[in-house]
Structure 1
Amino acid sequence: MRFLVDAQLPTAVARWISSRGHDAVHVSDLHLQDASDSVIWDLALRESAVIVSKDQDFADRRSRVKMGPQVVWIRIRNSRKAALLARLAEIFTEVEESLLAGETIITAR
């Protein structure tokens, strides 16, 4: 799977997802850290990438349209990078399964 990690999350999230065998890039790797949600959305569509974000706007937008990128909405409270990655490690298999099953919005808590 391909993942596009939004600016509210650390670049370490993209690296961690890549370590699981996926193609993952952080928006800052593409010099898009200040890009609008629409730019990120359109890029995810073109690249067939899953958006990973803490931004509720992506989940809301995806819920209103028939077609669009899948969205992993990170609802893990603000924490240190190590704690965030540890929580992702606990839940990511379920996230992957949900994406493979075709779910459009996956809420990660």
Structure 2
Amino acid sequence: MRFLVDECTGPAVARWLEEKGHDVFSVYDDAPGIADSKIIRRSHEEGRILITNDKDFGGKVYRERSPHCGIVLLRLGNERGQNKISVLRRLLEEYAGRLPDQFVVAAAEQVRFASKEE
């Protein structure tokens, strides 16, 4: 799968995804400080699922109607890299086929899917 990992999500997540064989663009490593509007545009143009901890992307999708190829919003009390990886591991094992074109909120105990049009 193709992912764009937001700067706030961190380099550990990007490295883990790469180790699992995914095509990853890491904002932290490759474009620190770029604006959210450029992040969502780039992920869409490159056919990447955006992984972020930034709730602002919900507004970009639902208020501004920004097109995307899928967004995974991590909503975690424990923001450590290993916890993010644990949640993403479970998400990919159970729902990989459902991630494209969805807005997904992934928490430690639950996953919620919302379509682009919601």
Fold shared by both chains (TM-score > 0.5): yes
1:56 aligns to what?
A: 55
**1:97 and 1:61 mapped to 2: Cα distance?**
24
Query: Which residue matches 1:4?
Result: 4
- The 1:4–1:33 alpha-carbon spacing in structure 2 relative to 1, beyond 3 Å, is same
Uncovered stretches (5+) of structure 2, i.e. residues with no partner: 108-118
Bigger helix share: 1
Distance 1:63 1:23 in 2: 27
For the residues of structure 1 that align with 2:12 and 2:95, how far apart are their CA atoms? 18
The corresponding residue for 1:93 is 93
C-alpha distance in structure 2 between counterparts of 1:89 and 1:98, whole Å:
14
Number of aligned pairs?
106
- Structure 1 unpaired stretches of 5+: none
Secondary structure of the 1:8 match is helix
Q: Distance in 2 between matches of 1:88 and 1:108?
A: 8
How far off is 1:107 after superposition? 0.8
Aligned-residue offset at 1:66: 7.1
Report what 2:13 is aligned to: 13
> Percent of pairs identical after alignment?
30
Q: What root-mean-square deviation, in Å, do the aligned CA atoms of Structure 1 and Structure 2 show?
A: 1.9
Counterpart Cα distance in 2 of 1:94 and 1:46:
26
Q: Distance in 2 between matches of 1:25 and 1:92?
A: 18
Letter in 2 for 1:60: G
Aligned-partner Cα distance in 1 for 2:92–2:21: 12
Deviations 1:49-101, CA, capped at 9 Å, x for gaps: 111100111123223427323110011223332233233323332341321xx
Partner of 1:105: 103
Deviation for aligned residue 1:103: 4.5
Q: Distance in 2 between matches of 1:26 and 1:84?
A: 15
